[in-house]
Structure 1
């Protein structure tokens, strides 16, 4: 008798439980819906469907999420308008802690890219370079609701409700939450459904308040959930108190992670490091807490501490993809492409297959002098790439073409990169250099000016524009652009030399 015949003879409730354990949420929900249509008062099936719907929409909320435009503009939780360097995410450590910008690409906030895309690392915080401007550019004018974290959750919640035939599974507005709070098992399931499926933190907060009172304020789980509700509503100080109280009742990793996230949202990275350190003391070797420490050090441009912590993460969890990717990026930009290649190959053996990984493999192979493998890896990345990654892959193909001396291929690759992503600043900058080699001075200057307005955090277009202006005899423009390049990259030798020549020329006038 095959598996299909066996499953057909199973009890329907047991079959729904089996589907639930197999993480087949859609099939489990459909079967539970049929059973509830026959018997609407079956609490076991109601419980199972509620859990399946919740896990289907579950999101790991321990990570630091992206801040929307309204979060940036209306944030009233700032502790200092001009914090000291290293004590705030808006003023990370400067200098050569993370290498020179010419060696390692940086984000619009001025921080070197870590090698792993995480929420909160791609956009600048208020006060950082390009923070408000980038938020305004990313906004969608005309929408009825500000782009906030809760605004996105509200839209997700309405979409999930409409997708169900016959309306929502639970009409929370009609429930007597006090009655459910008296039954802890059902209350916890209902709370997670309201928070993660319906995305209604106000109703979830009401239920958590009733349940906490009935538990005599001694249940760590309800206090941790209260903190989540306060955090989603923007009441960060209240959330901080609830998470701290939850830890006092019962130390748990998730409560420590949530408390550290609140500290980061309040722009207090040192407090977040203290929270992660206490968590590691209570739970030695926990990878999530060690990763949190590494992320904070990266945000503060403290590379030595971040790399040491990533190595500790791999000792505790040898299959951690984030630590591998960050260590691989570190070795690649430290002129050790062979070591980076070993990390990327390990990720490939673990089953990670993304266009970004194949792209990085191609670059590592190229700089490790494995030219035959480099082109095949980049071709694989190109076949898998979506519109988001396509421009970067073509840009790297152009870089490889420059390395092998095929400037025609490089020119075409940068052109294609710009056609895919009209805001790809690096491709414009390199295209300007190639246009200059062809003798197209006007086109080169136009490309440099486009990049200077598009990506003001890159110093290369300012230096290239200054050098071109110097050769054309426009010394005033050359002086201004070289000064700007030095502001973005302190100690850049070529910019210093150009400024020295310009000052000598001005002194002779």
Structure 2
């Protein structure tokens, strides 16, 4: 079998490691084979490719950020003050949230933080006529493309970006290689600028890639200009979503919502844009609007685990644990097993009086929990199971195990203080309440309990 045909077949089947090995063997015999070089570069890129649209790490407090944000924004216009300015029901106010401010639904969205291997890039080939080998025309490159054994595949310092930006058959693959595989944002941005100039600013794809580089370099306003220009040229779902993410970085959720609405006018009932709308309203605290969009997502995509889990969370905090349990069981039936999911199912069983399987769900959650923060939340919820059975000693034990996993869990300190106060240990309760207030100043219960405790001592 022709080695090049085998490499192409492996690439189409996403067997990138074997494809790279076959391309390497081809390049060992013919170092100037541009087709094998190009295919190897594509395989290396696809092997480490990540969907950066799913990143939820929005940097709000960056000391290098020169974008001015109002210190006291109007209610409902900032993600930083959404939790305190948007009125919600009593149950929904106390929902636990992720580090980015999004309520925990039981299903974690895929992250995009991935380690990218570091090596050096070399020079791309020029196109020249070559001889015929294995029934195909080999496009030869110059000697600058030669790869050193036990060295980098290509050297970045030897790249003539202005030359290759004009080559439409190589420039996009090279950009993705620089951006995803090498993580070299500056050279990727330079290539995108040169390619945009070479196509006379008529290719929207390059403007979106240039915006990606600007976002990575924290040049948010420049990214906004590039994506808006790309949207005017061509309507694409990715462009709308990236523009939404730009406004989230600028802490302008209302502008992000307007972009989502304009995107839904072009792509009606699109699941990706509708999901962005639901997440925005969820972070802003408008749970009714959020669940409305999540329901429309389920109508379009009945297998969307995020929407189903979010609807289940909404019903749980609206005192409907039996209905929430139906949604979480649906998620589990689709094969989405996680510690958060079993934790939420255990809580639904507890509050719907299905005590026979409550402990089994929490046990499964502890077995699956790898993050200490998640394990601390499971132990914290197990303390409520112990309290519901009247076993105060077991509840204290669970809360201590919670603090052993997360020593800054303010709610656990507060509940420990209440339990110790009931057992007559007032001084220990006061110390726990002080720690809870120190770790989470915005939590109202420690301050209320501390004032009550001090008044009792007086």
Which residue pairs with 2:26 in the alignment?
35
Residues 448-459 of structure 1 correspond to what in structure 2 (within 5 A)? Answer: 448-459=433-444
- Unaligned stretches of 5+ in structure 1? 1-9, 121-148, 474-509
Which residue pairs with 2:78 in the alignment?
88
Question: Aligned partners of 1:326 and 1:167: how far apart in 2?
Answer: 49
- Unaligned stretches of 5+ in structure 2? 121-147
Question: Aligned partners of 1:217 and 1:85: how far apart in 2?
Answer: 40
Q: How much is the aligned-residue C-alpha RMSD, in angstroms? A: 2.6
Confirm or deny that 1:26 pairs with 2:17.
yes
| Structure 2 residue matching 1:62: 3-state secondary structure | helix
Confirm or deny that 1:278 pairs with 2:245.
no
Confirm or deny that 1:407 pairs with 2:397.
no
Residues 436-451 of structure 1 correspond to what in structure 2 (within 5 A)? Answer: 436-451=421-436
Q: For residues 453-489 of structure 1, give each alpha carbon's deviation from its aligned partner in whole angstroms, at most 9, with x where no partner exists.
A: 011121111122122112111xxxxxxxxxxxxxxxx
Paired residues of 2:92 and 2:317 also in contact (CA < 8 A): no
More deviation, 29-38/347-356: 29-38
Question: Aligned partners of 2:290 and 2:306: how far apart in 1?
Answer: 12
Paired residues of 1:327 and 1:340 also in contact (CA < 8 A): yes
Question: Aligned partners of 2:330 and 2:264: how far apart in 1?
Answer: 27
Confirm or deny that 1:195 pairs with 2:153.
no
Q: For residues 222-246 of structure 1, give each alpha carbon's deviation from its aligned partner in whole angstroms, at most 9, with x where no partner exists.
A: 1111111222222222211111111
Superposition deviation, residue 312 in structure 1: 1.1
| Structure 2 residue matching 1:98: 3-state secondary structure | coil
Question: Aligned partners of 1:165 and 1:329: how far apart in 2?
Answer: 55
Question: Aligned partners of 1:459 and 1:270: how far apart in 2?
Answer: 29
Which residue pairs with 1:386 in the alignment?
370
Which residue pairs with 1:471 in the alignment?
456
Superposition deviation, residue 109 in structure 1: 8.7
| Structure 1 residue matching 2:119: 3-state secondary structure | helix
Question: Aligned partners of 1:429 and 1:212: how far apart in 2?
Answer: 57
Superposition deviation, residue 86 in structure 1: 0.9
Question: Aligned partners of 1:21 and 1:472: how far apart in 2?
Answer: 74
| Structure 2 residue matching 1:161: 3-state secondary structure | coil
From the superposition, tell whether residues 203 and 277 of structure 1 become closer, same or farther in structure 2 (CA, over 3 Å). Answer: same
Confirm or deny that 1:47 pairs with 2:38.
yes
Residues 27-426 of structure 1 correspond to what in structure 2 (within 5 A)? Answer: 27-63=18-54, 65-67=56-58, 71-92=61-82, 94=84, 97-100=87-90, 104-107=94-97, 113-115=103-105, 117=108, 156-157=115-116, 159-161=117-119, 166-388=150-372, 389-426=374-411
From the superposition, tell whether residues 175 and 327 of structure 1 become closer, same or farther in structure 2 (CA, over 3 Å). Answer: same
TM-score of the superposition, structure 2-length normalised?
Answer: 0.87
Paired residues of 1:194 and 1:203 also in contact (CA < 8 A): yes
More deviation, 97-106/347-356: 97-106
- Determine which structure has the larger helix proportion and give its number: 1
Superposition deviation, residue 65 in structure 1: 4.0
Question: Aligned partners of 1:179 and 1:111: how far apart in 2?
Answer: 45
Which residue pairs with 2:135 in the alignment?
none
From the superposition, tell whether residues 46 and 358 of structure 1 become closer, same or farther in structure 2 (CA, over 3 Å). Answer: same
Question: Aligned partners of 1:165 and 1:11: how far apart in 2?
Answer: 24
Superposition deviation, residue 255 in structure 1: 0.8
From the superposition, tell whether residues 433 and 218 of structure 1 become closer, same or farther in structure 2 (CA, over 3 Å). Answer: same
| Structure 2 residue matching 1:73: 3-state secondary structure | coil
Question: Aligned partners of 1:93 and 1:456: how far apart in 2?
Answer: 14
From the superposition, tell whether residues 404 and 27 of structure 1 become closer, same or farther in structure 2 (CA, over 3 Å). Answer: farther
From the superposition, tell whether residues 174 and 210 of structure 1 become closer, same or farther in structure 2 (CA, over 3 Å). Answer: same
Question: Aligned partners of 2:87 and 2:302: how far apart in 1?
Answer: 27
Residues 484-499 of structure 1 correspond to what in structure 2 (within 5 A)? Answer: none
Paired residues of 2:75 and 2:86 also in contact (CA < 8 A): no
From the superposition, tell whether residues 73 and 36 of structure 1 become closer, same or farther in structure 2 (CA, over 3 Å). Answer: same
More deviation, 341-350/23-32: 23-32
Confirm or deny that 1:12 pairs with 2:3.
yes
From the superposition, tell whether residues 297 and 67 of structure 1 become closer, same or farther in structure 2 (CA, over 3 Å). Answer: closer
Question: Aligned partners of 1:281 and 1:68: how far apart in 2?
Answer: 29
Paired residues of 2:413 and 2:435 also in contact (CA < 8 A): yes
Paired residues of 2:379 and 2:401 also in contact (CA < 8 A): yes
Which residue pairs with 1:499 in the alignment?
none
Superposition deviation, residue 56 in structure 1: 2.3
